[in-house]
Amino acid sequence: MCELLGMSANVPTDICFSFSGLMQRGGRTGPHKDGWGIAFYEGKGLSSFHDPSPSANSRIAQLVKEYPIKSHVVISHIRQANVGDICLENTHPFSRELWGQMWTFAHNGQLDKGVFDLPLSHYYPVGTTDSEYAFCWLLGEIRTAFPQAPEDMQKLYDFIQQCCDQLRALGVYNMLLTDSCSLYAYCSTKLSWITRKAPFGEASLTDTEMVVDFCKETTPQDVVTVIATVPLTDNENWISLAEGEMVVFKQGLIVNN
């Protein structure tokens, strides 16, 4: 199974700590070795890194781990290939532009080949994965329903929830999606999150020898939410999403009903 990692924060924050844990699962402590990718946002701008090679060995992953790129939204993915060859164009996360915003998407799970029968209207896949196809369908549905960015965000949340339910009916569909501001986390089988805010404490990664004292890294106003397929630390209280549950984070806080 692939693994997802996401972050939503109210201050530009680096994800080095969480990413170090996730990286180990890409070949050392986990079987997820068929590519990885990560997308950072600085304001509206998207910076993304993709590598079809295992993350535990990847030179690009080493840069990301050591170079604390500060971001308020992050989506990352380590792949264990099911549908589609191992190649750059099949490496999550995937991005497309809608309403002058770069949307980014990553998926954990496998969908029935019926997904390829869903109609595409605006966006078309470059690669051959069920995941990218699902993203192209989802974003096309959003664009058709909302030709401009809506004022009433709850209408958009409800619409995205319905689309995700439809995809979940085709198989396992755990998803992270962002429009550069909000981070949508949709659970099919496995997705957990944790919000760190003051008073901060120490966190210990499950997969590697690393402990971070968040107190030293943060200010009292910081709010940072991390979302992962499987909790990354063994000494904090992660919250698991239920099947079919979608949580939308903005600046680290939940914004949907």
**Residue 112 interacting with a second copy (CB under 8 A):** no
**Residue 99 interacting with a second copy (CB under 8 A):** yes
**Binding region for a second copy (CB under 8 A) out of 2-10, 24-32, 47-55, 154-162:** 47-55
**Binding region for a second copy (CB under 8 A) out of 100-108, 186-194, 203-211, 243-251:** 100-108
CB nearer to a second copy: pick between 96 and 168: 96
CA distance 61 to 52: 11
**Residue 122 interacting with a second copy (CB under 8 A):** yes
Identify which of 79, 100, 89 has the alpha carbon closest to the alpha carbon of residue 149: 100
Catalytic residue among 2, 136, 163, 187: 2
**Residue 127 interacting with a second copy (CB under 8 A):** yes
248 Cβ neighbours under 8 A, 6+ residues apart: 157, 182, 183, 184, 185, 254, 255, 256
**Binding region for a second copy (CB under 8 A) out of 10-18, 117-125, 191-199, 233-241:** 117-125
**Residue 70 interacting with a second copy (CB under 8 A):** no
Q: How many CB atoms lie within 10 A of CB 244?
A: 13
CA distance 78 to 68: 19
Maximal C-alpha separation, the chain: 51
Residue 2 is a catalytic residue: yes
Q: Tell me the closest approach of the beta carbon of residue 250 to a second copy, in angstroms.
A: 18
**Residue 47 interacting with a second copy (CB under 8 A):** yes
| Phi-psi category of residue 27: left, alpha or beta, with phi > 0 → left and psi -120 to 50 → alpha | left
CB nearer to a second copy: pick between 94 and 200: 94
- Do residues 171 and 109 lie in contact, with contact meaning Cβ atoms separated by under 8 Å? yes
Q: Which of 113, 121, 126, 198 binds a second copy (CB under 8 A)?
A: 126
Q: How many CB atoms lie within 10 A of CB 78?
A: 33
- CA distances to 22, 225, 235 from 18, rounded to whole Å, are 6, 11, 14
**Residue 87 interacting with a second copy (CB under 8 A):** yes
**Residue 189 interacting with a second copy (CB under 8 A):** no
Active site residues: 2
Footprint of a second copy (CB under 8 A):
42-52, 59-60, 63, 67, 87-91, 96-97, 99-102, 122-127
